[in-house]
Structure 1
Amino acid sequence: MTYHQESHQLELCQHLTDWVICDSQPLTVLESPAFKQLIFQLNPKFQIPNPKYIKLLIYKAYNYLKPLIIEKLEKDVNAVSLTCDLWTGFILLVQYIPYPHTADHIGDTLLAVLNEWGLQDKTFMITTDNGSNMRKAIKDLELAAENIMWQPCTAHTLQLVVEKDLAPIKSLVGHAKRLIDFFMSPKQSERLEKIQKQFIQPNSNSSSRTPICQLLELKGYIRTLEANLAEETDQDSKKDSQRLTKVMLTNDEWDLLRDLIFILGPFEETTGILELKPDEPNENTMNINIENLEDVFVWNEDQDNSNNPNNEKNTNEHQKNVDLNQPMQISGVLKKVKDTLYQAMLFYWKNEREISYLPSILDPRIKKLDFAPYEIEQTLNSLKNKYRKMKLSMSSHLQSSPIPMPVTITTPFLGPTPSSTLYKSTLFDIFNHPSPANNRNELNEYLAIPQIPFNIDPFSWWKINKEKFPILSELARAYLSVSATSTPKITIFWIQFTNHSYQKTNIM
């Protein structure tokens, strides 16, 4: 059999390499008999390269592109904000960090990476979770590079706030977990599913994707199953009826779950806005699988450092402290929940910095800062200082541009000769055409414009108005790019009560 010419074979190998990289395919797929058969059927003339050759192409591509990226960062980038753990968007690199993952090791690695890519002087913000090692690592970086500041992940901070809120309702958490456990067996799950099918249309959608709301939606079906089991005469059903009755939430507990939704609703709304994929469809009600709720109602001790080895121990101790055989005392619980939330919010956001509000005032949707009236004056002063510095920097850049030289013409035999008729007068042009930056205050004009609707993309707005606000647009490009979160997909933390550990991926 004749194969492709070398040039075409190389082109196909490059496409194959692109597929391996873009879809994160393991190189072992190239040795799969089924994959080889597929390629043969699609293109019999193509010779599948061995994994070593693909590795070589990847190394060559990396060595070719890296200096180009560094050059582009040097020429086109003025300000850089980074995240650690964010798997979406632009990933600079996946970097190994020596064990143990102390603040010193993390900080040294980050500093080395910034120097390697020429970003130390351009980086002004790094967003991470609230882990004490990550927090200290960035704080130490601030000493080595004064321009770098630390931004806590808003999603993780909200998680810590709501986990504080679980203390007054840990009895309810335990009771709900016990009810969920009852339906973990295939027999009970199938019984519940059978009842659901009697009442739910096949294409109907759940009104909520949050587990507490789903549990409330299942309440009617669970109650129906309880009544049906009570009417059965066989011993097996009678035993299951007694077990279900024992673990069933009381009416007060069901009501408390519903009341908690209204108290904690703003947290769900906030995480929904922060989430990177807000348009993800809700689960089909028919697929509200009870297994999805298995780990939802497990007590989770609030830990600032997710690497703390005592997390599991603390979790078990809290669960043991709850007497599940005693009904929960509902009186005053809602007030305790509200007070705990309020105190936690004050604690985790007690040290506000200018970075918290500068992106907001540069966002044309919320620039009036109606949500933070006491911070307006301080934020305005901070923005004015940065505006003046940016204006001075841009003016200095313009003044350092080369001075126009007289235009010369070349005539035969005589050589280059200055032409007074072609000289363009530039010395006094500034008086005829004064620079807009020197005669107008962009900041006042920007603040005088009404806010735009919240559903409009602020980056698109600044792109359209870049010529009108050249200085502010540069500031907006920097500060609006600061990520509020360091996580790729935000869980509805308050609604899940999950004990899943907060994983780190150490990515920039």
Structure 2
Amino acid sequence: MSSPVWNYYDVSRNNEKFAVCRVCTKEISRGGASSKAFNTTNLIRHLRVSHRETYVEYEKLANAKAATATLTQPSITDVLKKQELYTPDSKKAKAITAKIMEFVCIDCQPLSVTEDIGFKRLITHLEPQYHMPGRKYFTDVALPELYQNVYSHINTLLHENVTAVSLTTDIWSSSVSLMSMLSLTAQWITENFEKRQVILHSQEFPGSHTAEALVAKYNDMLQAWNIQKEKVHVVLRDNAKNIAKAMRDCNLNSVPCMAHTLHLVVHEGVLSQRAVRDAVAIGRRIVGHFKHSPQAYSRLGDIQKQLGQSPKRLQQDIDTRWNSTFYMLTSLLEQKHALMAYTADYDIPNLNATQWKLIENMVSILAPFEELTKEISSIKSSVADVIPSISALKRLLERISDSDHGVKTSKQTLLEAVVKRFSDIHREPVYVVATILDPRYKDRYFDDQTKPEAHRLLSEVLDVRVRRGHSSGEKMVETVATPKTLPSSSLQQMHEEILRDTSGSDVYRESDSIAPEINLYLSEHVIPRSAEPLVFWESNKGRFPALAEAARVYLSAPPTSVDSRKEPKEFSAA
């Protein structure tokens, strides 16, 4: 019923063999005994004989439809052309090849995937006219072209109204081959207070990892991106002496990775104790027993079901990642009853009652460290979190509670390690100024002794920026995005206590050019910890122009170098 003639007829409700004329309501035969034989010949004839004006209108519609059909009708040449393969230099072929190259790089696929039969069949099914080039083409042509495009884009971003960049660097080992990798990641904040993060380098670093070799590598990497050292705000690196010396020799300001320092704290405070080491070693052997025996895991699964537990595998730890040891101990505790039932029938390493209690205590005492490690490893964290986080952690370790039975000594040892490893954070300008410029913290995490020095450092930073031409702007109404509610935790409770116990203070002289802006900012309430500092500064950059510009610099630095690794969710002390 696609013919235009049906604009003037309806199928009869009494008998589908007839059509009813809308002009005269007369029933006209559709020219057949069955639906397959129906046609429109009688209908068209009726319009031509009985309704001349309507017939002329119908002809115009029919001719227009025929003309459209003619225009869209493909020629034989077009049909044959669609069966031809794209030439390698055609726009369509190049676009598909580029997307395949992106797929290989973004998803970390081996280049050999372009030679796999299944992948080739998929591409042929999606685009029959496309011919997959050989692997050598992807290696020699497509990959360099993609690199150049990405390089040009990132290079533009790096030098487009970027006042300063913060870098993270690390040396780590590949899990698939015996090689060391050196990485460099850049972070900065745009004019609209959006954080940008780009991996600039991740390359093999053969030979001895001396400070001199590192200096040469870092100079080459900075030169490759045309990043002036004066533009580098700070470099996040681990605690290794060779990297620390390399930063000094490169004339680059650097601070240690907070996650790596926490790793050292946990090892010094807990994991280095003989009793803990012995319990962890037995735990590793238990996990190893099941990891290397599918039959053993099957038996354990049956026991878990009998105890009403969901089958769950044990987690193996890695010696260089303290939090992986925490996860292993946690998984052992979760399966304690199933494991004890298993050891009653099978001969495997076993933990005694004292060691089980020790593991339970260690999991309890290390839970805040694990919570903190996850928090500072977030992409949203910055060096502004260091002083507040350590203040909350120290307060928590100093707190005496009824649940401390059996862990008092460990808590004290951990506290001493935290104090030792983070003793200089209140004297490091990178941490101090960033903390005050974070509207969640301001100066509330400084005591009467450290607060005046913190204020002085902030004033000096802002005075320099004002002299460089950053002046006050128009007034704006303070607006902050509604924060999400954070779940209550021991560390969170410590933060709430600190903020309740402290308040801001006015310490600037009236003659200071920047004093009114600083005083107004510090006199206002802090925003919730769950709120976004960069959202605050985007909304309030008109009220606090000098502070906002400084925040773009100081809040760009992360607290850890975990984003320099190929496995950002995990941490190692490599």
TM range (shorter): 0.5 to 0.7
- The Cα shift of 1:78 comes to 0.8
Determine which structure has the larger strand proportion and give its number: 2
How far, CA to CA, are the matches of 1:136 and 1:271 in structure 2? 26
Q: Deviations over 1:115-167 (max 9, x none)?
A: 3323222002111112222121112112xxxxx21111111111111111222
**Distance apart, 1:83 and its partner CA:** 0.6
Change (3 A) 1:141 1:212: same
- Pick from 25, 31, 35 the counterpart of residue 119 of structure 2: 35
How many Å apart are 1:217 and its aligned residue?
1.5
Determine the C-alpha separation between the residues in 2 that align with 1:117 and 1:87: 11
**Residue 433 of structure 2 contacts residue 458 of structure 2 at CA under 8 Å; is this kept in 1?**
yes
Which residue of the other structure, out of 176, 179, 187, is the alignment partner of 2:283? 176
Partner AA of 2:516 in structure 1: N
Shift of 1:361: 1.3
Alpha-carbon separation, structure 2, partners of 1:361 and 1:397: 19
Correspondence 1:196-345 to 2 at 5 A: 196-200=304-308, 202=310, 210-226=327-343, 229=344, 237=345, 240=346, 243=347, 247-276=349-378, 334-345=407-418
Q: Is the 2:462–2:547 contact (alpha carbons within 8 Å) kept by the matching residues of 1?
A: yes
Q: Which of 1 and 2 has higher RCO (CA within 8 Å, sep 6+)?
A: 1
Q: Aligned residue for 1:139? A: 248
Question: Aligned in 2, Cα 1:371/1:52: closer, same or farther, shift over 3 Å?
Answer: same
- Counterpart of 1:35, as a letter, is F
Check conservation: 2:472, 2:545, Cα contact below 8 A.
no
* Residue equivalent to 1:310: none
Runs of 4+ in 1 over 6 A off after TM superposition: 203-206, 437-440, 490-493
Q: 1:25/1:249 Cα in 2 relative to 1: closer, same or farther (>3 Å)? A: closer
Distance between the aligned counterparts of 1:104 and 1:95, measured in 2?
Answer: 17
Report how far residue 2 of structure 1 moved. Answer: 0.7
Task: Rate the CA distance shift 1:63–1:175 in 2: closer, same or farther, 3 A.
Answer: closer
* Amino acid in structure 2 at the alignment position of 1:160: L
Render the CA deviation track for 1:242-288: whole Å, top value 9, x for unaligned: x35xx43332322222222332222111112123389xxxxxxxxxx
Matched residue of 1:94: which SS? strand
Q: Which residue of 2 aligns with 1:45?
A: 129
- The question of 1:77 aligning with 2:77 is answered no
| TM-score calculated relative to the size of structure 2 | 0.60
SS in 2 for 1:444: helix
Conserved? CA contact 1:82–1:127, under 8 Å: yes
Sort the Cα spacing of 1:170 and 1:366 in 2 relative to 1 into closer, same or farther, 3 A: same
Report the Cα offset of residue 36 of structure 1: 1.5
Structure 2: how far apart are the matches of 1:102 and 1:13? 41
- Structure 1 counterpart of 2:239: 130
Computing the radius of gyration from Cα coordinates, the structure with the larger value is 2
Q: Aligned AA for 2:248?
A: K
Give yes or no for contact 1:365–1:453 (8 Å, CA) kept in 2.
yes
1:103 alignment counterpart? 211
Instruction: Mark the CA change 1:469 to 1:205 in structure 2 (over 3 Å): closer, same or farther.
Output: farther
The structure-2 alpha-carbon separation of the partners of 1:34 and 1:179, relative to structure 1 and needing over 3 Å to count, comes to closer
What secondary structure, in the 3-state scheme, does the structure 2 residue paired with 1:124 have?
strand
Following TM superposition, by how much is the alpha carbon of 1:90 offset from its aligned partner in structure 2, in angstroms? 0.8
Distance 2:350 2:332 in 1: 12
User: 2:200 matched to 1:116?
Assistant: no
Residue type of the alignment partner of 1:78? T
- Quick check: 2:247–2:254 contact (8 Å CA) kept in 1? yes
Cα distance in 2 for partners of 1:110, 1:357 equals 27
**Percent identity between the aligned chains?**
30
Quick one: distance in 1 between partners of 2:204 and 2:296?
46
The answer to whether the 8 A contact 2:233-2:553 is kept is no
Match of 1:83, as an amino acid? T
Q: Give the CA deviation at 1:396.
A: 8.9
* 1:179/1:75 CA distance change after superposition, 3 Å: closer
Indicate if the aligned counterparts of 1:210 and 1:492 stay in contact, CA closer than 8 A: no
Answer yes or no: is the 8 Å Cα contact 1:2–1:45 preserved in 2: yes
Shift of 1:191: 2.5
Q: Is 1:482 aligned to residue 557 of structure 2?
A: yes
TM-score (norm 1): 0.67
RMSD of aligned C-alpha atoms?
A: 3.4
Structure 1 residue 187: deviation in Å? 4.2
Matched, 1:151 2:255: yes
State how far apart, in whole Å, the 2-side matches of 1:470 and 1:205 are: 54
- 2:165 counterpart of 1:56: no
More deviation, 5-14/453-462 = 5-14
**Hey, what's the Cα distance between the residues in 1 that align with 2:515 and 2:449?**
28
**Amino acid aligned to 1:220:** H
* 1:126–1:149 contact (8 Å) kept in structure 2: yes
Deviation at 1:388, TM superposition (A): 0.8
Aligned pair count reads 385
